Structure 1
Amino acid sequence: MSSYITTYTRKHLDPVHPDPEGIIIEDIAHALSLLCRGNGHVTTFWSVGQHCICCAKEAAGRGLSNRIVLACLLHDASECYMSDVPRPFKQTMQEYIRQEEYLLSVIYTKFLGTDLTVEEQRQVKEIDDDLLWYDLVNLLDMTPDREKPEMHIKVECKVQPFEEVEQEYLDIFEKYSRDVG
């Protein structure tokens, strides 16, 4: 068995020992546009890529820095290499969490120049959690146990062709990465 995965751009990447040169934004955009939120337990397909795009747009709407906009766009990028595990299960998997944090640190360093500070992590997590509220309402018909967060974007969970999601992800990356990293 090999110790790497072959990506969309035909790179070989070992997600346990990632070489930053093998981490390609096109692979991230492509894979996240095809991965479904909530492990597929949703009423309609809503990709991780669409979620990340909303997070980035919300960060921009809040007037946060280009670096935070990009961090929001990239906050689930590790999932394109190691998939995702639902939160309740992930909380019991310390080695998975460690590997995911390391891979995400490599991704942030590659595209942002450095890993996120504690404050930057807090800002990204806040936006991620606010958008989770909308996922629960729009994709699972649930009533979250917190107040509706104030948003600066309109959140619509509508199915889009993966090619459109992939291109929008790349466009946002291009727009906000000019002065970062």
Structure 2
Amino acid sequence: MNNNCITTYTGRHIDPLHPDPDMICIEDIAHALSLICRGNGQVKTFFSVGQHCINCSREALARGYSRRVAFACLLHDASECYLSDVPRPFKKTLSGYKEQEKNLLDLIYQKYLGSPLNAKEEQLLKEIDDAMLWFDLTYLLNEPQEREAPEIHITIDYTVRAFEETEKEYLELYSFFTH
């Protein structure tokens, strides 16, 4: 095995800085994201990145956005499967990380969506991601928000779930988009 590679849940060896698209696997993504905690673990109860991505995707569908945008919402944190999660304030200072994350995410979008997102799709995704962040900060951290609650069209359930449930739901939603 190459020293620059990580071993994934399914036993693949992938170099996150020079990823081979054939090594990217939805089962690895679903599994890892169901086990990575939102907010760098600085929350009052466990809530996974996988749950967050599912909520973003369901919100996009509820808003009537295209299946492509809703699928992109499911995948928007998939790079964290290979690079881990970095809190937003710190991520802003890491130009090399941001570039690697974008390259990997574009590769994931290319593999599963056929192309990276365009500016309008990125904007729609960011609006949903920011709305979900408002609720995550409010309910997972009791963080007072300066702005009004954004309008959302789904009910967010912050119940702690077994990672297997989230992993299964993530894969079911993936299957919905690909079949």
* Length-normalised TM-score, structure 1: 0.97
- What pairs up with 1:71-110 in 2 under 5 angstroms? 71-110=72-111
Answer yes or no: is the 8 Å Cα contact 1:11–1:22 preserved in 2: yes
| Number of the residue aligned with 1:22 | 23
For residues 144-163 of structure 1, the aligned pairs below 5 Å read 144-163=145-164
Q: Distance in 1 between matches of 2:65 and 2:85?
A: 27
Deviation of 1:156 after TM superposition, in Å, equals 1.7
Q: Name the amino acid aligned to 2:26.
A: I
Residue 125 of structure 2 is aligned to residue 120 of structure 1: no
Please state how far the C-alpha of 1:177 moved relative to its aligned partner: 2.2
How big is each residue's C-alpha offset from its partner over 1:30-65, in whole Å with a ceiling of 9 and x where there is no partner? Answer: 000000000000000000000000000000000111
Q: CA contact under 8 A between 1:3 and 1:14: conserved in structure 2?
A: yes
Provide Cα deviations, 1:58-102, integer angstroms capped at 9, x if missing partner.
000001111111100000000010001111111111000000000
* Identical columns (%): 57
Instruction: Please say which of residues 140-149 and 99-108 is displaced more in the overlay.
Output: 140-149
Confirm whether residue 165 of structure 1 aligns to residue 163 of structure 2: no
Instruction: Tell me the CA shift for residue 130 of structure 1.
Output: 0.2
Task: Check the 8 A contact 1:58/1:151 in 2, yes or no.
Answer: yes
Q: Is the 8 A contact 1:55 1:127 kept in 2?
A: yes
Q: Number of aligned pairs?
A: 178
Show CA shifts across 1:138-170 (max 9, x none).
100112121101111001211000000000000
RMSD, aligned α-carbons? 0.8
Q: State the AA in 1 paired with 2:52.
A: H
User: Partner of 1:174 in structure 2?
Assistant: 175
TM-score by length of 2: 0.98
* Stretch of structure 1 that moved more, 47-56 or 151-160: 151-160
Gaps of 5+ in 1: none
3-state SS of the aligned residue for 1:56?
helix
Consecutive unaligned residues in structure 2, runs of 5 or more: none
Instruction: Measure, in 2, the Cα distance between the counterparts of 1:95 and 1:6.
Output: 22
Counterpart-to-counterpart distance in 2, 1:115 and 1:144: 32
Please tell me whether the aligned partners of residues 68 and 124 of structure 1 are also in contact (alpha carbons under 8 angstroms).
yes
Distance 1:144 1:131 in 2: 13
